[in-house]
Amino acid sequence: MYIAVPAEILGIILPLLLGVAFLVLAERKVMAFVQRRKGPDVVGSFGLLQPLADGLKLILKEPISPSSANFSLFRMAPVATFMLSLVAWAVVPFDYGMVLSDSNIGLLYLFAISSLGVYGIITAGRSSNSKYAFLGALRSAAQMVSYEVSIGLILITVLICVGPRNSSEIVMAQKQIWSGIPLFPVLVMFLISCLAETNRAPFDLPEAEAELVAGYNVEYSSMGSALFFLGEYANMILMSGPCTSLSPGGWPPILDLPIFKKIPGSIWFSIKVILFLFLYIWVRAAFPRYRYDQLMGLGRKVFLPLSLARVVPVSGVLVTFQWLP
Amino acid sequence: MMAQEHAHSSAVERLLNCAVPLRAQYIRVLFREITRISNHSLALTTHAMDVRASTPFLWAFEEREKLLEFYERVSGARMHANFIRPGGVAQDLSLGLCRDIDSSTQQFASRIDELEEMSTGNRIWKQRLVDIGTVTAQQAKDWGFSGVMLRGRVCWDSRRAAPYDVHDQSDPDVPVGTRGDRYDRYCIRIEEMRQSVRIIVQCLNQMPSGMIKADDRKLCPPSRC
């Protein structure tokens, strides 16, 4: 047991880190193909060694910090952000029983970790002791918190339909039909709220270069900004993970055919996560950015009432027809 | 670019009371409209890029590459062409250029459609552009606007109101906005690109043969052979 758990942890974290590195490359390539050009393809064949080159460059750069920055907090903020996005993977099910921690409060844990992520950003902005960083951090924090409420309500909607179970059982409960199909508007709202939660386009004003000079991570160089960057992409994959578990059904294959059962469940999970990540990148390539007041207006005036308006009828219908699990 | 050269040359010719041959006028209008398309695609898509819709920018610049190739074929330079000169144009069109311009315009309308698909109906785009940067008709007239900024509210097109060269031969529709905000100006520019394609096709069809410079040797130097 003392060997199995660290081995499991490494088995999650190492592929995740590789995934994050190649997600960065994938984003650049996918966006490039949308824009009728090729992405990086010089470094390796098809640019596959590009993440290695980028990582090496960032590690070897000189770390510069503002002289008036609060030293220990300044260093700890990116570490905290990256750590939180890795830690939340403890409750994501890859296959039946293949979860690091199969607890009943799995979703609540995920929600708590994403709320803690806001601390990393506020710490980064405040400890940089710089105007733009502070503004960016405040904006980003406010945005994340607003959309987290909507995520929470949507999770409640799905949980009501599925029943209080642990992470693997939530996926198993979708055996007959994926919960994304009857709850399709909920899936759409969840996707958009995840985009806003992870500060991704079109909700990425807090880290816009043109408008806010890269926001809360403007004062970071080399490893600090690398960790923020990796943390953002790890967050993206993290948000796609539960998205896949809750809605299109997680690890079981698309149709219940024996040939599909030969492929292990974790491969199906990865395929679905990759589809969601492709959607994230596609949205970034296609849409312009929201202005900050429009962004917050959308979160507070549209998504919050809409998510509330989903919880009430769904629970009403379930109670009326005695369909509560 | 050629629009500025055209304006300067027209001013000089009007001061000198010099007549420009017909073929030169058609070539000028042709390249004036090519310039208009090129400028509008730059304006719209860099505007989109500033709003962080990065894709139309790259699509439009691919189209612009084709137009810059036409500039280069006719004058030798991609952007600062030095082609339209007082008295006419610098050199005649090369062989096959008209055919290539024609085949380029045939696919251009689809490209404008693609650009419109990305932006015009997009609710995020509209939220960033509608009722932003409104210019009233009175403000536009007071400040001496004369192009798309004026056409946001006022129906005035210099090509119709004070026609120069052969613009009175072609018959474009003039798009006019109603609110004078950024969204109206965006729609006007898109529509003007389509009308420019129409004018280009008309010019290519109607282009006569003849001299490309005025005969006045004090104004235009003789052509190099």
Answer whether A36 sits within 8 Å of B50, measured CB to CB: no
For A178-196, how does the pLDDT look when each residue is reduced to its tens digit (9 = 90+)?
A: 666 677 888 888 888 888 8
Based on the number of CB atoms within 10 Å of its own CB, is A271 exposed (0-12), middle (13-18) or buried (19 or more)? Answer: middle
Q: Assign B46 a pLDDT band (cuts: 50, 70, 90).
A: very high
CB-CB contact of A224 with A78 (8 Å) = yes
Neighbouring C-alpha atoms within 13 Å toward the C-beta of A272? 26
Residue B190 has a pLDDT of: 93
- Domain coordinates in residue numbering, chain B: 1-206
Strand partners, B84: B89
Mean pLDDT, range B183-201, rounded to an integer: 92
Residue B26 has a pLDDT of: 92
| Calpha distance A271→A264 (Å, rounded) | 11
Residue A203 has a pLDDT of: 85
Answer whether B62 sits within 8 Å of A36, measured CB to CB: yes
Q: Assign B204 a pLDDT band (cuts: 50, 70, 90).
A: very high
| Calpha distance A206→A198 (Å, rounded) | 11
Q: Which two tokens stand for residue B194?
A: 């389509």
| Calpha distance A196→A180 (Å, rounded) | 20
Residue A176 has a pLDDT of: 66
Residue B163 has a pLDDT of: 77
- Count CB neighbours of A177 within 10 A: 9
CB-CB contact of A23 with A200 (8 Å) = no
| B53 in reach of chain A (CB within 8 A) | yes
Cβ-Cβ contacts under 8 Å, A286 against chain B = 53, 55, 118
Average pLDDT score, chain A: 82
CB-CB contact of B68 with B214 (8 Å) = no
For A259-269, how does the pLDDT look when each residue is reduced to its tens digit (9 = 90+)?
A: 666 777 778 88
| Calpha distance B6→B13 (Å, rounded) | 10
- Count CB neighbours of A291 within 10 A: 16
For B3-39, how does the pLDDT look when each residue is reduced to its tens digit (9 = 90+)?
A: 899 999 999 999 999 889 999 999 999 999 999 999 9
Residue B102 has a pLDDT of: 92
Residue A255 has a pLDDT of: 60
Residue A198 has a pLDDT of: 84
The amino acid at residue A67 is: S
Q: Which two tokens stand for residue A44?
A: 């390796």
Q: Give CB contacts under 8 A, 24+ apart, made by B122-128.
A: B122/A287, B122/A288, B122/B53, B124/A202, B124/A287, B124/A288, B124/A289, B124/A290, B125/A288, B125/B48, B125/B51, B125/B53, B126/B183, B127/A290, B127/A291, B127/A294, B128/A288, B128/A289, B128/A290, B128/A291, B128/A294, B128/B51, B128/B182
pLDDT value at A10 more than 70: yes
Answer whether A289 sits within 8 Å of B62, measured CB to CB: no
Cβ-Cβ contacts under 8 Å, A287 against chain B = 53, 122, 124
Residue A209 has a pLDDT of: 56
- pLDDT higher for B49 or A256? B49
Cβ-Cβ contacts under 8 Å, B50 against chain A = 210
Answer whether A286 sits within 8 Å of B52, measured CB to CB: no
Answer whether B55 sits within 8 Å of A34, measured CB to CB: yes
Cβ-Cβ contacts under 8 Å, A291 against chain B = 127-128
Residue A215 has a pLDDT of: 67
Residue A25 has a pLDDT of: 92
Taken in order B183, B189, B192, B193, is the CA torsion positive or negative? negative
- Which CATH entry fits the domain spanning B1-206: 1.10.645.10, 1.10.10.10, 3.40.630.30, 1.10.730.10? 1.10.645.10
Could you tell me what percent of chain B has a pLDDT over 70? 100
Residue A34 has a pLDDT of: 92
For A151-181, how does the pLDDT look when each residue is reduced to its tens digit (9 = 90+)?
A: 889 888 888 887 767 777 777 777 666 666 6
Which of B52, B117, B118, B119 best tests the A interface by mutation, with the highest count of A CBs <10 A? B52
| Calpha distance B135→B182 (Å, rounded) | 9
Residue of B nearest to A35 (CA): B55
For A193-234, how does the pLDDT look when each residue is reduced to its tens digit (9 = 90+)?
A: 888 888 887 888 776 655 556 567 677 777 888 888 888 888
| B50 in reach of chain A (CB within 8 A) | yes
For A84-142, how does the pLDDT look when each residue is reduced to its tens digit (9 = 90+)?
A: 888 888 888 877 767 777 777 878 888 888 889 888 888 888 888 778 788 888 888 89
Cβ-Cβ contacts under 8 Å, B128 against chain A = 288-291, 294
For B124-164, how does the pLDDT look when each residue is reduced to its tens digit (9 = 90+)?
A: 999 889 888 888 889 888 998 888 888 888 888 888 777 77
Choose among A241, A151, A144, A270: nearest CA to A200: A144
For A257-297, how does the pLDDT look when each residue is reduced to its tens digit (9 = 90+)?
A: 666 667 777 788 888 888 888 988 999 888 988 888 888 99
CB-CB contact of A291 with B129 (8 Å) = no
Answer whether A288 sits within 8 Å of B128, measured CB to CB: yes
| Calpha distance B152→B130 (Å, rounded) | 12
Residue A212 has a pLDDT of: 54
| Calpha distance B101→B70 (Å, rounded) | 8
| Calpha distance B78→B38 (Å, rounded) | 12
| B16 in reach of chain A (CB within 8 A) | no
Closest chain B C-alpha to A281 CA, distance in angstroms: 12
pLDDT value at A44 more than 90: no
Closest chain B C-alpha to A173 CA, distance in angstroms: 36
Answer whether A35 sits within 8 Å of B55, measured CB to CB: yes
Answer whether B122 sits within 8 Å of A289, measured CB to CB: no
Place of tokens 């999770």: A155
Could you tell me what percent of chain A has a pLDDT over 90? 9
Residues of chain A whose C-beta is under 8 A from some C-beta in B?
31, 34-37, 201-202, 204, 208, 210, 285-291, 294
